[in-house]
Amino acid sequence: MSALLTTPTPTPEAKPTGIRGLMQRLSHHVEALPTGAAVVIFIAMLVYGEIAYGRILQASTLSNLLINNSHLIVLAVGLTFVIITGGIDLSVGAVVAFSSVSGVMLMNAGWNPWVAMILMVLIGTGFGLVSGVLIQYFNVQPFIATLAMMFLGRGLASILSTEPVRLGDDSAARLLSEKIKIIDGPKVNDLVITPGVIVAALVVVVAFFILHRTRTGRTVYAIGGSENSAQLMGLPVAMTKLWVYVISGTLAGLAAVLYTARLGSAQNITGLGWELDAIAAAVIGGTLLTGGAGFVLGSVIGALVLGLMNVLITRDGGIPPEATTIITGGILLVFVLLQRAVLARQRE
């Protein structure tokens, strides 16, 4: 009786566990490392603030972070779209200034507040559309095109008024800053939000869906990875590049609405330097300045990191306000270097 020859069944290779397994999983998602680092930094700042100053890990801190930085979150989301394509938008701060001054003056002149707020958003849309046309159809560099729009917006705001213009306390626009109590905590430790925070959250949800779940979002990533390759694949490169600047401008106009409703006033210097804060938030959140990678939720974390940094500096009392810029620059430098390491790892 001849023996039957059987082929041994190969045993599946055991998956590595522990530190080795974690490193292997991270190697497959190396582009998410900056975002993960931002989350770690945010948690570390919360822990440090609680140990050093107390009353940081509480509902009221989260409430204030969201309320005070809702406009920055909206701006950072808009910049995320632009930066992923490999572009830049330096005009958003000036758009906020022009939109806010225009809106407050129109409301004070008797316009319906809701119509004025819609016009504020449309002003941002117009600025974004002009920037997109200059960049896509006139081959102007994004830096130059949006820099020109920044000077235009800031100049128009200065023509309208060089003095602060106040919004009436009874204006319907102030409803966006009305506090809504979610959790009634002990003493002043309440979890509260405002309609402005809800609007910012809706922006994040819609932007996340567009960027991560639609063909438009995949085209945005493809343009950042290689615009020539995206064109060869038949993707709508021209229209998508135009749309990302329209999105950025529109969200800048919306940020003007949220900020004006909360502060109750506007002036020509409103939004000064906010374009850099929004870029910093996006970069800290993991959006690569070279394009092709980035996350909407990462930009939200980046905005909250900047907001929490201001809270800790204020709570400390011994750090001059000017140090905020230095610290922001240091954090940004660290994340840029981390991005360079990520790019080097991806090329291997």
Partnered with residue 166 across adjacent β-strands are 265
pLDDT value at position 181?
A: 87
Per DSSP, the three-state class of 318 is coil
**Could you tell me if 227 and 237 are in contact, meaning their C-beta atoms sit under 8 angstroms apart?**
yes
∠195-282-138 over CA atoms, to 5°? 105
pLDDT value at position 1?
A: 44
HSE toward the beta carbon, residue 143, CA cutoff 13 A: 2
Domains annotated on the chain, with CATH = 34-347 (1.10.3470)
pLDDT value at position 154?
A: 95
**Could you tell me if 94 and 151 are in contact, meaning their C-beta atoms sit under 8 angstroms apart?**
yes
pLDDT value at position 14?
A: 53
pLDDT value at position 26?
A: 44
DSSP characters over 191-237? EEE-HHHHHHHHHHHHHHHHHHHSHHHHHHHHHHH-HHHHHHTT--H
Name 174's Cβ contacts closer than 8 Å, sequence gap at least 6.
Answer: 167, 261, 264
pLDDT value at position 76?
A: 96
Low-confidence ranges of the chain (pLDDT < 50): 1-5, 19, 22-23, 26-27
pLDDT value at position 13?
A: 53
Judged by phi (left if over 0) then psi (alpha if -120 to 50, else beta), residue 55 lies in left
